[in-house]
Structure 1
């Protein structure tokens, strides 16, 4: 009888241990998921300055090494909620692109608003949600790449650490939660390499709707542009389309933090102005 009680007691211990381990590891998995969402959102937010004015040179290189250059001026402003960013960009050169304007308005609670002004047509047209995967004015960046991705539209997985230029990074895999997100972005998966100490993204990959690698991203020459808010900006952004051999590099120049920019810079009327 004593041995039977001992066996029952041990059985309770084993069962209790199993339940405890299940709860612990279940909580770890849940915590990991919450942390990864927070990590990716933090990475998004460190790039959103209170307001800015900057000039950029776009260098487009085809598979044969032929280059084309474009010059732009851009304005950004962060909404009072500290989440949604608005960005307007106007092309200054060359002649065939001069006057083209784009207005990108983030909306974390709904659809982003993208407006494109084409001077040849003298009209502004809206880019539908399904058009976010299209090329951003002939570059290898898409509208989705530029306006950004909503954190909660993706499921994240930690692939472990990697090192880029001596910087230790999280390697995070992001897969869409829905077919809608895949359709709108054109991506079935993204991989983000986020520097551990300051949450800036140093590199990334994007996979097309068939699951094949389509783009490789690299971001460098980061500068701490708003030290009091831990806001950074990459002065060199590069994307290579591995399927076409085409590459786009954006070099940012004369970046200035301007938190008090007037709203007039963020309207379709501004896009239409010469």
Structure 2
């Protein structure tokens, strides 16, 4: 999900590229890497409290706080809720997301001022969410079946050897909906965890870079990033998110992921 202080978190050093494997094998290996990442680091349910800092090129900063709930339902599909708790003028604003099983995700935005849940249209997925550098597309879970994943080589970032996996839309419909022509994932080989993502627009231009920092081993082979920085190169703007609290296998009632729960203001209770 980042001025002078923030820039320090973005210092990832690219040192070397390895040879690209044959295309057929490269696609199979790329998918296997991202599937393994999903299996290792996803949990059936989780909650978090996040502090967010927005910073522009002039050094102006805004701070926000929000909570998240995520749960894999009995049908195997994930639902997530993100609700702002601060500042006061944003408190109660929420984004509800449901996986649908057809490669799509339904999203609804709730703003207390209107008192309504508004469906996020597919044509709006490339829009930025609430002044951050994350789009609605960035905030919905990836269905791997909707993408081609190609292992293109390796690189060393901050002294760690990483796979490089290029992710592109697999269908014309997905390409039309997506704001990205390509995303490039740098996945640490030792823990199979993505530490950097480069976002390219449909014309191939690099527009954003996301980096993960302060990695923490939660349990077993599961890791999380305590800080995530999204650097919007085009807008010269950054969003830094830091975990203030995180709980895996949290007991979450299914009712959390409903319109009624959000509109009653229960995420703020």
Instruction: Determine if the TM-score, normalized by the shorter chain, exceeds 0.5.
Output: yes
Q: Could you state the TM-score of these two structures normalised by the residue count of structure 2?
A: 0.84
Q: Distance in 1 between matches of 2:90 and 2:98?
A: 22
Instruction: Answer yes or no: is the 8 Å Cα contact 2:103–2:145 preserved in 1.
Output: no
Aligned-partner Cα distance in 2 for 1:160–1:154: 18
Maintained 8 Å contact 2:47/2:250: no
| Superposed CA RMSD | 2.0
Quick check: 2:207–2:233 contact (8 Å CA) kept in 1?
Answer: yes
Q: Please give the secondary structure, in 2, of the residue aligned with 1:105.
A: strand
Residue 258 (structure 2) pairs with residue 264 (structure 1): no
* Superposed displacement of residue 148, structure 1: 2.8
In the other structure, the counterpart of 2:235 is 244
- How far apart, CA to CA, are the structure 2 residues paired with 1:183 and 1:75? 29
SS class of match (1:182): helix
Whose RCO is larger (CA < 8 A, sep 6+)?
2
C-alpha separation between the residues in 1 aligned to 2:188 and 2:48? Answer: 24
Residue 17 (structure 2) aligns with: none
SS at 1:145's partner residue?
A: coil
* Match in the other structure for 2:28: 34
**Aligned residue number for residue 213 of structure 1:** 206
Describe the SS at the equivalent of 1:37. helix
Shift in Å, 1:80: 4.0
Match of residue 49, structure 1, among 43, 46, 51:
43
The more displaced of 158-167 and 196-205 is: 158-167
Q: How does 1:1-274 map to 2 (within 5 A)?
A: 29-80=23-74, 84-227=77-220, 230-274=221-265
**How far, CA to CA, are the matches of 2:132 and 2:38 in structure 1?**
22
Question: Which consecutive unaligned segments of at least 5 residues does structure 2 have?
Answer: 1-21
Q: Which has the higher helix share?
A: 1
Retained in 2: the 8 A contact 1:173–1:191? yes
Report if aligned partners of 1:48, 1:85 keep a CA contact under 8 Å in 2: no
Local SS of the residue matching 2:35: helix
| 1:78 Cα deviation after fit | 2.0
TM superposition score normalised by structure 1: 0.83
Contact 1:49 1:226 in 2 (8 A): no
Distance of 1:226 and 1:103 partners within structure 2: 28
Aligned residues of 1:102 and 1:271 also touching (Cα < 8 A) = no
Q: Mean alpha-carbon deviation: is it higher for 67-76 or for 45-54?
A: 45-54
Q: Work out whether residues 226 and 257 of structure 1, in 8 Å CA contact, stay in contact via their aligned partners in 2.
A: no
SS in 1 for 2:32: helix
Q: What's the offset of the Cα at 1:273?
A: 2.0
CA contact 1:187–1:208 (8 Å) conserved in 2: yes
Distance in 2, matches of 1:106 and 1:44, equals: 15
Q: Aligned pair in 2 of structure 1 residues 80, 234: CA closer, same or farther (>3 Å)?
A: farther
Residues of 2 paired with 1:91 and 1:56: CA distance?
9
Pair member with larger Rg: 1
Change (3 A) 1:45 1:106: farther
CA 1:247–1:125 in 2, change beyond 3 Å: closer, same or farther? same
